[in-house]
Structure 1
Amino acid sequence: MRLSNSTAANLPPEVARFRYERGQQRIGIVHFGIGAFHRAHQAWYADCAMNAGERDWAICGVSLRSSDVSEQLQPQDGLYTITTGADEATRLIGAVREVLQGSVDADAIIARIADPACRIVSFTVTEKGYCRKADGALDHSRVALSFYPLLARGLAARMASGAGGVTLLCCDNLAANGRVLADLFGQYCTTHDPDLADWFTNECRVPSTMVDRIVPRADLARREALADKMGVVDQGAVFTEGFCQWVIEDDFAGPRPGWDAHGVQFVSDVAPFETAKLRMLNGAHSLIAYAGLRAGHGFVHEAMADPALRNMADQLMRVEALPGVPETQGLDLTAYADVLLERFADPALGHRLAQIAMDGTQKIPQRWLDTALACQEAGKDCPAIVAAFDAWLWHLADARFVDDPLGPELTSLMANRGRGAVIARCFTDPAPLWPGYASLADLFHTLQAPPVTRAPWPQSQPR
């Protein structure tokens, strides 16, 4: 029996639940990319706000390609649970009113964006979902299946009806993500609807944000244990840590939820928080992922129990990344590093290294290379970044764990021409994979190429 409106009333008392009437809450947020992270983060905050008495911040989730999330949540009337922390406290979330699929529900998605009740359109589509070329410009050849056409048609309908602008909230790991999204969508509109481009610039706002919560993929055992606990099956369940952070530039086109009452920080400048997260948390996470897989580990907590890997992560965060993060009120970087090491070591999370290792070509510049440039400019070495890059090269040579848009190209290049050719492709080719980082090529060319050793697939991480 599935979780739904009809079965939720029979959940055991240890499952906390919302107090608001879902049917009386209008949809105020349209969200593209309604995966586990969104359900554990932005939707959780929306649920908190409505539970505290705010109205009309219910969510219409949009799944652009896969029907998986729609199939998980629609039979459950949008309901799902979030289980947090080592004590596995479970709470029923009612913020998601509907889930639409881009390939079949285009008209309904456009109507939701055009509805005057909609005041925020938000995104967790991952770095690759923004369809950027290597130079940062919009790749128009890839936008057909992205969010851009649906967003443009929805905003064009608002423009025609006089409904007014909305706030676009990018919740992905992109440096200056608000400015990036505004620029990319502006490029799309300039090509497809110049009138909309002017209206968008004048009427809409795109604040930058920083989001942080570790949300591992839920395994079958945890789902089965949850079903036993609740007496119903929840196909949309998410499991996460107790820690949650959201920092938002306070620049909205209209009303916003009172998320600050639930821990969200509204600030004038997100950049220091964003830089700290990308270079310290995300940078160390990627180091642990590639070096941990090479060492035969399956989970983050296993890699953190390896003294050599823990020391590398600590070196990257405190010695190499931290000095390049701007100081700002409310951000204690030494304490931040302490908390990150504690979070990474938590075995209750069960965060798989292979999940973090995905899409490396989309992540490495902001996670490692910006730190390496800052060290280079300061005349300092960055051995942890060098070791991390070496582990990524091993990852390409090993090839078992690679899940990346450019994976086929780079694994083939590595197999046929070796590490030097991969480094040249990344930094110094006429059209390099990562423009602007050519000065780092020599740093990584000095790496000695050890033989590729295929550690056994970790027992804790079956294929």
Structure 2
Amino acid sequence: MQQLNRNTLRQLPSTVLHNKTALNSEIGIVHLGPGAFHRAHQAVFTDNAMEYGGNWCICGVSMRSSGVRDELASQDNLYTLAVLDENPSYQLISAIKQILVLSEQRSLVMQQLTAATTHIISLTITEKGYCLTSDGLLDLAHPDIKHDLANPEIPCSAIGLLVTALAFRHQECTAELTIISCDNLADNGTKLAKAIIAFATHVDPVLAAWIKQTISFPNTMVDSITPATNEALRARVAQAIQLQDNWPIQREAFTQWVIEDNFSGPRPAWEKVGVTFTSDVSAYEKAKLRLLNGSHSTLAYLGLLCGKETVNEAISHPTLFKLIETLLKEQVSLSFSAPAEMNVDQYIDAILLRYNNRHIRHLLSQIAWDGSQKLPFRLLGSIQDNLAQGQPISLLCIGVAAWLQFLVSAAQTNFPLVDPLADKLIRCAALCDGKSKEDVTRLLGIEQVFPTPLVNNTVFIDGICHAYLGLSRLNADNVTETLEAFL
């Protein structure tokens, strides 16, 4: 079978969607972190938007890994989006024109970041890539930030890299740039702006003032479940497009992008292809982070403790379904005020329906990654707000306790933990037996995750202890018995 590239495009079946406009467009966006989610989400919206004009092709920048660049190079950065549900569809995406690796192509990366034709820099670098403290501020003690402040000419963090690029643009008077965080981080644009300005202040206060006055950092909310690419997907896509695609991506049909209408330069016609622009993203963001992402993490850790492998397998267990549904409707939904346009009950029903999508093989182990970075935004915020309002937190505590049990299990079984705090988490968890209140005291002492006011709250401590000890008995054989005790 021939490989997908520009020369073989004419062989695509007519059933494969393809917006050819993007093939002849130039780069207008630089994106840090061109992983599966970006290629299934922002790149797709941008590909569709180029039908309405503009040079908005994307230069993807990988901070360290060369895998995506190397796999897509032979197919001219073209790839297939497989939308999997009861009626699957396939779309060829050509919005990405170039992929660079910072560690190998630093000068080319800087050229793209500082080009006058680059009007948007976007990011999907996960929560850990922002190098923030638990309070959401720049962590000046972070090794990457310390390195970049000492070596501004060779930054290794996204924050340091952006400040270096902005310094050049300041010097050359090339503004008209908007920097857009697309990560699952509460107030992501605001936090990114504060981190960049804080870093720039240490470099050059004049630069920091220019950034504050000139560059916009809109808050955003993104949503679409995007499992990792595997051989089954490659085989399925090859059959559908009649060409070999080295790195297709898959996602569910549901996709959402909400952006604060705050730009300091031009932008693609995203509003014409389904993107929502609003003056206040926070209500959408909080609803999504707490309802979808919070229940996702809870389901992942509980499911793994129950011996489940995928989201669909986990939610298909009646008791797990009941617990997640009750968590969403009776505790998470009380922790925030929804946007006026949102029907919360319908949104929750849609989440549960998405989890039940048997065509999406979303691994619980993948969702479990980087728990130390995710839980403060996905679960702890809901707990803090419910405590302040006198609302219940018992089921919210189950998700946190399940993460703690997950850490202990990882330490006991030498399970490879994917987390920027992995070494510290495993050292701490290795001192625990999974069955005592002393475990909870030790694990809640991880200050990078748990804020002091929460750790000093007796209602929270009691809730975590109760859930932790209750989950100590959980295994594949007693799911119903163990979890029903919490309902």
Q: Which of these residues, 433, 438, 449, is aligned with residue 433 of structure 1?
A: 449
Amino acid at match of 1:145: C
Which residues of structure 1 form unaligned runs of 5+? 457-463
Instruction: Indicate the residue corresponding to 1:459 in structure 2.
Output: none
Instruction: Indicate the residue corresponding to 2:208 in structure 1.
Output: 197
Q: Which of these residues, 396, 403, 407, is aligned with residue 422 of structure 2?
A: 407
Task: Describe the SS at the equivalent of 1:133.
Answer: coil
The structural deviation recorded for 1:276 is 0.4
The structural deviation recorded for 1:133 is 2.6
Instruction: Indicate the residue corresponding to 2:19 in structure 1.
Output: 18
The structural deviation recorded for 1:108 is 1.1
| 1:241-252 alignment, distance < 5 Å | 241-252=252-263
Cα separation, 1, equivalents of 2:136 and 2:433: 27
Task: Describe the SS at the equivalent of 1:266.
Answer: strand
Report % sequence identity.
Answer: 36
Instruction: Indicate the residue corresponding to 1:124 in structure 2.
Output: 124
Q: Which of these residues, 418, 424, 439, is aligned with residue 441 of structure 2?
A: 424
Which deviates more from structure 2 when the two are superposed, residues 437-446 or residues 414-423?
414-423
Cα separation, 2, equivalents of 1:98 and 1:316: 43
Instruction: Indicate the residue corresponding to 1:35 in structure 2.
Output: 35
Cα separation, 1, equivalents of 2:202 and 2:462: 39
TM score, norm. by length of structure 1: 0.93
Which residues of structure 2 form unaligned runs of 5+? 146-154, 478-487
Count matched residues: 453
Instruction: Sort the Cα spacing of 1:239 and 1:385 in 2 relative to 1 into closer, same or farther, 3 A.
Output: same
Amino acid at match of 1:4: N
Amino acid at match of 2:23: R
Cα separation, 1, equivalents of 2:445 and 2:428: 15
| 1:198-237 alignment, distance < 5 Å | 198-237=209-248
CA contact (8 A) 1:294 1:395 kept: yes
Instruction: Indicate the residue corresponding to 1:67 in structure 2.
Output: 66
Amino acid at match of 1:434: F
TM score, norm. by length of structure 2: 0.88
Amino acid at match of 2:440: I
CA contact (8 A) 1:207 1:248 kept: yes
Amino acid at match of 1:437: L
The structural deviation recorded for 1:297 is 1.0
CA contact (8 A) 2:332 2:396 kept: no
Amino acid at match of 2:461: A
Instruction: Sort the Cα spacing of 1:99 and 1:319 in 2 relative to 1 into closer, same or farther, 3 A.
Output: same
CA contact (8 A) 1:359 1:405 kept: yes
Instruction: Indicate the residue corresponding to 2:144 in structure 1.
Output: 142
Cα separation, 1, equivalents of 2:298 and 2:361: 17
CA contact (8 A) 2:222 2:257 kept: yes
Instruction: Sort the Cα spacing of 1:288 and 1:58 in 2 relative to 1 into closer, same or farther, 3 A.
Output: same
Cα separation, 1, equivalents of 2:255 and 2:294: 18
CA contact (8 A) 1:394 1:452 kept: no
Instruction: Indicate the residue corresponding to 2:483 in structure 1.
Output: none
Amino acid at match of 1:238: I
- The CA RMSD over aligned residues, in Å, is 1.9
CA contact (8 A) 2:77 2:98 kept: yes
Cα separation, 1, equivalents of 2:430 and 2:22: 58
Which digits, 9 at most, give the CA deviation of each residue in 1:348-368, with x for residues without a partner? 111111110111111111111
Which deviates more from structure 2 when the two are superposed, residues 237-246 or residues 162-171?
162-171
CA contact (8 A) 2:22 2:94 kept: no
Cα separation, 1, equivalents of 2:319 and 2:44: 36
Instruction: Sort the Cα spacing of 1:212 and 1:90 in 2 relative to 1 into closer, same or farther, 3 A.
Output: same
CA contact (8 A) 2:398 2:464 kept: no
Q: Which of these residues, 459, 465, 482, is aligned with residue 445 of structure 1?
A: 465
Instruction: Indicate the residue corresponding to 2:81 in structure 1.
Output: 82
Cα separation, 1, equivalents of 2:230 and 2:168: 42
The structural deviation recorded for 1:149 is 2.8
Instruction: Indicate the residue corresponding to 2:149 in structure 1.
Output: none
Which digits, 9 at most, give the CA deviation of each residue in 1:45-93, with x for residues without a partner? 0001012x22111100000011111112222211111010322211111
Which deviates more from structure 2 when the two are superposed, residues 132-141 or residues 62-71?
132-141
Task: Describe the SS at the equivalent of 1:416.
Answer: coil
Instruction: Indicate the residue corresponding to 1:461 in structure 2.
Output: none
CA contact (8 A) 1:413 1:421 kept: no
Instruction: Indicate the residue corresponding to 2:168 in structure 1.
Output: 157
Cα separation, 1, equivalents of 2:408 and 2:160: 38
Instruction: Indicate the residue corresponding to 2:109 in structure 1.
Output: 109
Task: Describe the SS at the equivalent of 2:17.
Answer: coil
CA contact (8 A) 1:410 1:422 kept: no
Cα separation, 2, equivalents of 1:210 and 1:425: 34
Amino acid at match of 2:274: G
CA contact (8 A) 2:80 2:93 kept: yes
Cα separation, 2, equivalents of 1:259 and 1:133: 33
Which digits, 9 at most, give the CA deviation of each residue in 1:13-36, with x for residues without a partner? 22221131523x121110000000
